[in-house]
Amino acid sequence: MNDSQLEPEWRYGDLREWLRETEKLGELKTVLGATWQEEIGLASDVVIPSDDGPAVIFDEVPGCPKGFRLLINVFAGKRRAMTLGFPQGLSKQELSQAYFDHYQKKQQHIPPVIVEDGPIFENVLTGDAVDINKFPTPIWHVNDGGRYIGTGCYSVTIDPDERWINVGCYRAMIQDQKSVSLLIVPGKHGYMHREKYFRRGEKMPLVIVVGGDPLFFFMAGTEHPYGLCEYDIVGGMRQKPVELVRGRITGLPFPARAEIVLEGFLNNNNRKNEGPFGEWTGYYAQDESAQPVLEIGAVYHRNDPIILGVPPLGGGSDEMARYRAIMRSAMLKHELQNAGVPDVTQVWCHEIGASRMLHGIAIKQRYPGHAKQAGVLSASCGSTVYGCKMVVVVDDDIDVSNFEQLMWAMATRCDPATSIDILRRMRTSPADPRLTPAQRKARDLTNSRMVVDATRPYDWRDKFPRVNTPSQESARKGREKFGYLLK
Ligand SMILES: Cc1cc2nc3c(=O)[nH]c(=O)nc-3n(C[C@H](O)[C@H](O)[C@H](O)COP(=O)(O)O)c2cc1C
Ligand SMILES: [Mn+2]
């Protein structure tokens, strides 16, 4: 692939245009009449795990007005490239590389513009008119503690001292007609904002967008640096400022063409039980806990509004894993370069555990300790520190995005007694199922992780047994001559 010839092409500027493009690709299906209590969840478990499943719109959900819709499975099939602004035909590694070259490396940030009006104000509901139960919010997994209206969502907050705006994805569970509870984990930017308000006894102004352009949601769910507004990142990716309107109550900005927005104040003194929720690790690791409630003063929505649903699913790889692997791999590669690690040839943050738990790093070894440097840093960069369990560093003949190759290199080139280092008391997630009951009680959100040096040992790398796989040259020759045997 020649990256320089690949130019981003943005075919959509909101969710409606994204649906139009997905329909053109033949990847949009509609289901009428599925229940929010059970059937939408059942369908999600069928469709989302497949790499090529369709995007599905649920309409005419019993109990909800006709036209009030829910969309699932944005990131699968051919629409993946379109969603990130690229042409068709790229493999997942190529898509990640394109993301790296065009967005991650360039670091272009364009601030948003504020406009007066937009389709999001087609319906403005305040006071007694606020009733979030009319949106078709499903029970995603049978043992969930409630209806999660906020999965493919993002919350907008402003730092009360430094006055910068953050846009982060934190799950939201419906409490009643006029409130949702938000789980914001310590260390997230929204949490740091929150604590500043709460410590001075104030409520935090907040808007949450629970349906809209998926690109905003993707950037809100990715670990960008502190102080950098995710709106500026989206603007930079599209080379065009995003258009925002201001909430009537808080003044906080949100996309003029969003689908559904809830606005209000997050109240530390009004806490309600949140969870449990089937999480990205594939477990119900956290019990229900009392979390601050967003007291909703206004709801804005487009006509025939659409919730964006991105439920985490069990067992390993799902939609969240698919897109995060692409973005996190690019981010980590960038962070390693910025930290001064030379010759990192490939990075893959593996899909299992939503691309947080296992990372493969390929390097061209240049000096003693190079592999360890790359490994230790990969276990603790901004994009990876949270929830990481394993980092495997290999030589550059290995395709680290290929699970079998990565494990083969690990099994054959590492000596567990001497090649593995354990890092202790690192930052993890409350969703980590391996936190002990005592740690949970003490709110000790740390874990250990291993850094595996599966490179050929540097000081005798020339004596390491040769591999019997064909060279690139002879593999190409073989394919040309005998590739027909596989057709
Ligand atoms: C679908 C989805 C759900 C998430 N749920 C939560 C959540 O409930 N609480 C949380 O703190 N982080 C959650 N995250 C992770 C954060 O969105 C992510 O760490 C992001 O970088 C946070 O934004 P910030 O860095 O601006 O704080 C979720 C991410 C995704 C993609
Ligand atoms: Mn942020």
* Ligand 1 atom nearest to 152, measured from its CA: 1
Q: Read off φ and ψ for residue 62, nearest 5 degrees.
A: -50, 130
The whole-angstrom separation of Cα 208 and Cα 149 is 10
Distance 279 CA to ligand 1 centre (A): 12
Using H for helix, E for strand and C for coil, what is the string for 420-447? Answer: EEEEEEEECCCCCCCCCHHHHHCCCCEE
Answer whether 180 contacts ligand 1 (Cβ < 6 A): no
Answer whether 178 contacts ligand 1 (Cβ < 6 A): no
Answer whether 281 contacts ligand 1 (Cβ < 6 A): no
The whole-angstrom separation of Cα 55 and Cα 47 is 8
The whole-angstrom separation of Cα 233 and Cα 103 is 9
Distance of CA 379 to the CA centre of its chain: 18
Residue nearest ligand 1's atom 12 by CA: 170
Which residue is associated with the tokens 């690791």? Answer: 285
The half-sphere exposure of 335 on its side-chain side, counting CA atoms within 13 A, is: 24
Q: Which two tokens stand for residue 469?
A: 């796989």
Answer whether 389 contacts ligand 1 (Cβ < 6 A): no
Q: Which of 190, 195, 184 is nearest to 167 (CA)?
A: 190
Q: Which two tokens stand for residue 267?
A: 């109240």
Tell me the pLDDT tens digit for each residue of 201-210: 999 999 999 9
The pick from 44, 162, 188 for probing ligand 1's pocket by mutation, whose C-beta has the most ligand atoms within 8 angstroms, reads 188
Q: Give the Å distances, CA to CA, from 485 to 245, 470, 475, 479, 480.
A: 59, 18, 14, 9, 11
* Ligand 1 atom nearest to 218, measured from its CA: 31
Answer whether 184 contacts ligand 1 (Cβ < 6 A): yes
DSSP assignment of 17-61 equals HHHHHHHHTT-EEEEES--TTTHHHHHHHHHTTSTTPPEEEEES-
Q: Which two tokens stand for residue 224?
A: 């960008």
Q: Which of 439, 21, 437 is nearest to 215 (CA)?
A: 21
Q: Both ends of the chain: CA-CA distance in Å?
A: 23
Q: Give the Å distances, CA to CA, from 358 to 49, 50, 76, 161, 349.
A: 19, 21, 21, 37, 6
Tell me the pLDDT tens digit for each residue of 265-309: 999 999 999 999 999 999 999 999 999 999 999 999 999 999 999
Answer whether 306 contacts ligand 1 (Cβ < 6 A): no
The whole-angstrom separation of Cα 384 and Cα 359 is 9
Answer whether 168 contacts ligand 1 (Cβ < 6 A): yes
Distance 167 CA to ligand 1 centre (A): 10
| Other beta carbons within 10 Å of 127 | 8
Q: Read off φ and ψ for residue 393, nearest 5 degrees.
A: -105, 130
The pick from 169, 266, 277, 429 for probing ligand 1's pocket by mutation, whose C-beta has the most ligand atoms within 8 angstroms, reads 169
The pick from 170, 204, 222, 289 for probing ligand 1's pocket by mutation, whose C-beta has the most ligand atoms within 8 angstroms, reads 170
Q: Which ligand does the CA of 229 lie closest to?
A: 2
Are the C-beta atoms of 299 and 34 separated by less than 8 Å? Answer: no
User: Residues 6 or more apart from 380 whose CB is under 8 A from it?
Assistant: 388, 423, 426
Are the C-beta atoms of 273 and 290 separated by less than 8 Å? Answer: yes
Using H for helix, E for strand and C for coil, what is the string for 234-282? Answer: HHHHHCCCCEEEECCCCCCEEECCCCEEEEEEEEEEEEEEECCCCCCCC
User: How open is the CA angle 159-161-164, to the nearest 5 degrees?
Assistant: 40
Per-residue pLDDT tens, the chain, 487 aa: give them: 445 568 899 999 999 999 999 999 999 999 999 999 999 999 999 999 999 999 999 999 999 999 999 999 999 999 999 999 999 999 999 999 999 999 999 999 999 999 999 999 999 999 999 999 999 999 999 999 999 999 999 999 999 999 999 999 999 999 999 999 999 999 999 999 999 999 999 999 999 999 999 999 999 999 999 999 999 999 999 999 999 999 999 999 999 999 999 999 999 999 999 999 999 999 999 999 999 999 999 999 999 999 999 999 867 678 999 999 999 999 999 999 999 999 999 999 999 989 999 999 999 999 999 999 999 999 999 999 999 999 999 999 999 999 999 999 999 999 999 999 999 999 999 999 999 999 999 999 999 999 999 999 999 999 999 999 888 899 999 999 999 999 8
* Ligand 1 atom nearest to 230, measured from its CA: 26
Distance of CA 269 to the CA centre of its chain: 30
Answer whether 264 contacts ligand 1 (Cβ < 6 A): no
* Ligand 1 atom nearest to 192, measured from its CA: 27
Q: Read off φ and ψ for residue 395, nearest 5 degrees.
A: -75, 165
Q: Reduce the DSSP state of residue 152 to 3 states and report it.
A: coil
Tell me the pLDDT tens digit for each residue of 306-322: 999 999 986 767 899 99
Q: Which two tokens stand for residue 487?
A: 């057709």
Answer whether 387 contacts ligand 1 (Cβ < 6 A): no
Omega into 62 within 30° of 0, i.e. cis?
Answer: no
